[in-house]
Amino acid sequence: MTAFQAFIFDLDGTLVDSEALHFEAYHEVIEKYGGTLSREEFIEWWLIKAKGMRWAIESQKLVVDAAVAKLEKAQRFQTFLKEGVSVMPGVKKILDFAKRENISLAVASGSRLEEVDAVLRASGLAEYFPVRFGLDSVKQNKPDPEMFLAAAKQLGVTPDECLVFENTPMGIEAARAAKMKCIAAPSRFTMGVDLSGADVLLRSLNEWTPEILRSRT
Residue pLDDT, tens place only, 51-97? 888 888 999 999 999 999 999 999 999 999 999 999 999 999 999 99
pLDDT at 216: 52
Please, which pLDDT band fits residue 2 given cuts at 50, 70 and 90? low
pLDDT at 46: 85
Residue pLDDT, tens place only, 186-205? 999 999 999 999 999 999 99
Distance CA 63, CA 48 (A): 26
Please, which pLDDT band fits residue 164 given cuts at 50, 70 and 90? very high
Distance CA 176, CA 189 (A): 22
Residue of 10, 12, 17, 199 with catalytic role: 10
Distance CA 206, CA 61 (A): 43
- Domains identified in the chain and CATH numbers: 6-17+86-214 (3.40.50.1000), 19-81 (1.10.150)
65 catalytic per annotation: no
Its pTM stands at 0.94
Distance CA 7, CA 91 (A): 12
